[in-house]
């Protein structure tokens, strides 16, 4: 058993507008260190992780300005609702804890009923 400090999750850092730009090949994310180039009338990003040339349309205001950037993936209303539920849950507990489940979904789990058994066990713990 080990303890993981998750208070860094409370500090959201810079909130980015728009969607994150993912590399089409490796799914790496366009970041503060990424370089844009113009090729004719096209804007390209040469992925610094896999060297794949991605055709992008990224405005200057969309270039991340900090080493850590938070992208909002859910609509604001859902986030507010989730935050309210989280506050209510926290109010019910005097000592809040976080439990992280790490599930191996690699090929070794495909034999027999391993993965489905694991999913069932985790679902029973969460409910
Ligand atoms: Zn890439």
CA pair distance 76, 118, nearest whole angstrom:
33
One domain, residues 81 and 40: yes
As beta bridge partners, residue 38 has: 43
Tell me the pLDDT tens digit for each residue of 57-87.
Answer: 998 888 888 888 888 766 666 666 777 787 7
pTM above 0.75, yes or no: no
Average pLDDT, the chain: 81
Task: Write out the residue range of the structural domain in which residue 18 sits.
Answer: 7-93
| pLDDT of res. 77 | 66
Looking at the structure of the chain, the number of domains it has is: 2
Cα 81 to ligand 1 centroid, rounded to whole Å: 35
One domain, residues 78 and 17: yes
Tell me the residue length of the chain: 127
One domain, residues 15 and 62: yes
| pLDDT of res. 35 | 94
| pLDDT of res. 14 | 77
One domain, residues 82 and 126: no
Cα 45 to ligand 1 centroid, rounded to whole Å: 9
One domain, residues 65 and 77: yes
Cα 93 to ligand 1 centroid, rounded to whole Å: 43
| pLDDT of res. 120 | 86
The H-assigned helical ranges of the chain are: 76-92, 114-126
CA pair distance 43, 14, nearest whole angstrom:
25
Answer yes or no: is 1 within a domain: no
Cα 35 to ligand 1 centroid, rounded to whole Å: 13
One domain, residues 109 and 58: no
> Does residue 54 have a pLDDT over 80?
yes
Cα 51 to ligand 1 centroid, rounded to whole Å: 6
Q: Confidence band (pLDDT; 50, 70, 90) for 56? A: very high
One domain, residues 54 and 107: no
Cα 46 to ligand 1 centroid, rounded to whole Å: 8
């Amino acid at each position: 058993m080990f303890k993981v400090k998750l208070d860094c999750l409370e500090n959201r850092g810079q909130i980015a507008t728009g969607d994150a730009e993912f590399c089409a090949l490796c799914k790496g994310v366009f970041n503060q260190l990424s370089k844009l180039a113009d090729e004719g009338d096209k804007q390209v990003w040469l992925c610094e992780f896999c060297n794949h040339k991605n055709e992008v349309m990224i405005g200057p205001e969309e270039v991340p300005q900090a080493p850590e950037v938070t992208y909002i993936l859910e609509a604001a209303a859902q986030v507010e609702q989730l935050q309210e539920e989280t506050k209510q849950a926290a109010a019910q507990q005097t000592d809040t804890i976080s439990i992280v489940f790490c599930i191996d979904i690699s090929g070794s789990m495909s034999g027999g009923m391993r993965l489905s058994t694991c999913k069932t066990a985790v679902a029973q713990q969460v409910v």
